[in-house]
Chains A and B, each alone.
Chain A
Amino acid sequence: METDLNITQHISQRFNEELEEVRSLVMNMGGMVEQQVNDGVQALLKADAQLGEKVASSDYVVNAMEVDIDEQCTLILARRQPAASDLRLVVSIIKTITDLERIGDEAEQLGIAAIKLADQNTKPSRYVELRHLGDHVRGMLHDALDAFARMDVNAALETIRAATVLNDECDAISRQLILQMMEDPRQIKNALQVQWCARSLERIGDHAENICEYVVYLVKGRDVRHISLDEIKSHVE
């Protein structure tokens, strides 16, 4: 059941084009946000202030894309009054880009933190936990965008499942950081910075999970927000 949905084949060729266009814009935006997150994580792990600067200053591109896609969606609603899967597509796009934009904001935070931490000349080994969480979240975001592109409910479900460990990962990082702060109070400032980065990464994971929930809505017509994983599975199967 890979793709029951085809967004083409409307009697109106122009409508096909409009939907295709807005969908490919979302893919572009997703690709851009993914790059930002990757760069943000890299900048942190390598204490690369230059890369951090790049991430922190490129958020405006993503913001502009959100505004543009929003407008395209509004025009489609006004012109076409889409129904059924077309309507669900437009609604899930509007929601998806909001989450993408927020992911961009969090990536910006990672960049800013990378600049600050690089100044402090902190040992990169301190971020081992961040590396693990960062990889996990980057994987989630990649899979979420992939699920959206292929309208793949099963892939979306896998990513929603992957979100369940986010909390534990963050708690583990917190405990680690608290220990460090107790050992060496001079590190508190940096440790808090790292803590906020962990928080940003967790949020990025949450947004990726949201995107997957919209994919389930888009394909299955079921709103699976705020329910347990088992309930979601029963809706999908």
Chain B
Amino acid sequence: MTRAAVDASAASQTAEAVQEAEAVELVRPQETADTAGIHQEISGTVGTPFSDNAKMSTRHVDVFYGDKQAIFDVSLDIGEKEVIALIGPSGCGKSTYLRTLNRMNDTIPGCRVTGDFQLDDEDIYAKEMDPVLLRARVGMVFQKPNPFPKSIYDNVAYGPRLHGFASNRAELDEIVVSSLQRAGLFEEVKDRLNVPGTGLSGGQQQRLCIARTIAVSPEVILMDEPASALDPIATATIEELIDELRENYTIAIVTHSMQQAARVSQRTAYFHLGKLVEVGETNQIFTNPAHQLTENYITGRFG
């Protein structure tokens, strides 16, 4: 705890400096959004990339895979207890960006990440930041459900055990049950907590993975196409769940389904060729986007 506290104070000092430097920066995107009509070129981000109530804030993010640059100068805030959808064509960098938020890119050889990343004013790329603890605070759900080859119970109990969240069996039981309940899976599996998680249906497996993620009480949940491998019913269940989770968690979701982005998110960010083109209220993005590229993408036109 003390280490974290030291980190936090150091980070908040740098955060102040960063914020000062950004005072000028903050004006730019909003100005461009209002002055011109429909935007044609990618010159800075259009809309409102910054939030008054940021849970995570990233500034000037560049990501390289070897010599190839995948993300160019992306600055974006993820607001507290909001669902932000990251959309864009394949290869636009939205998944890469998502993975920088809990340092999943650390494990990819040749991947280099630069820029400022703050989680509640803590620098998540600081030397002292333990990526394992970070990933407990910033959890992730993947495209393909990936339960461990263990029982349903152990899948959910794995994280709390690892991080020592429970001091006895009763406490662990409670975490497992409440996580499964919040993930909307408990009623379906309560009589068979000891059967392998891999035996569940796809939609159930994905909810199991969400239960596993929320079992360690994360602050932020990253979702990379969580419903793309699911049928419409299971998808609807997951979307319903995302809506409920929003009360307690901050969520960033990458999705190829435009309707899904429109349904579950409050803010939407559109990526194109590694650049952040436009960010805005989801309702605005899907009825009246400011940038021509956003318009072309969400209406299914040639880019």
Residue positions of B touching A, CB distance < 8 A: 37-38, 258-259, 262, 286-289, 294-296, 298-302
Contacts and interface: CB of A to CB of B under 8 A. Distances in A.
Contacts of A124: none
A84 B295 contact: yes
A221 B287 CA distance: 7
A10 B300 contact: yes
A222 B262 CA distance: 19
Contacts of B258: 81, 83
Contacts of B262: 83
Contacts of B299: 10, 82-86
Contact of A87 (B37, B287, B294, B301): B287
Interface string A32-69: 00000000000000000000000000000000000000
B288 A221 contact: yes
B146 to A, nearest CB: 30
Contacts of A11: 300-302
Contacts of B298: 83-84
Given A9-B301, A10-B299, A10-B301, A84 B288 contact: yes
10 contacts: A1-B37, A10-B299, A10-B300, A11-B301, A11-B302, A84-B289, A87-B286, A88-B288, A220-B288, A221-B288
Contacts of A87: 286-287
A103 to B, nearest CB: 27
A12 B288 contact: no
A82 to B, nearest CB: 7
Nearest to A81: B259
Contact of B302 (A9, A88, A220): A9
A200 to B, nearest CB: 35
Contacts of B302: 9, 11
B271 to A, nearest CB: 17
B287 A88 contact: yes
Contacts of B301: 9-11
Given A10-B299, A83-B287, 4 more contacts: A11-B300, A83-B298, A87-B286, A220-B288
Interface string A216-237: 0000111000000000000000
A12 B300 contact: yes
A4 B287 contact: no
A15 interface: yes
A11 B286 CA distance: 18
Contact of B287 (A9, A10, A84): A84
B37 A84 contact: no
A140 B142 CA distance: 57
Nearest to A16: B301
Nearest to B262: A83
Contacts of B295: 84-85
Interface string A4-36: 100001111001000000000000000000000
Contacts of A221: 287-288
B238 to A, nearest CB: 19
B38 A4 contact: yes
A222 B300 CA distance: 22
Contacts of A82: 299
8 nearest A-B residue pairs (beta carbon): A221-B288, A83-B298, A9-B301, A86-B299, A83-B286, A84-B295, A4-B38, A84-B299
Interface in A68-110: 81-88
A213 B169 CA distance: 66
A85 B289 CA distance: 9
A85 B295 CA distance: 8
Contacts of A81: 258-259
Instruction: Give the interface centre of B37, B258, B287, B301 by most chain A CB atoms within 10 Å.
Output: B301
A83 B295 CA distance: 8
A15 B300 contact: yes
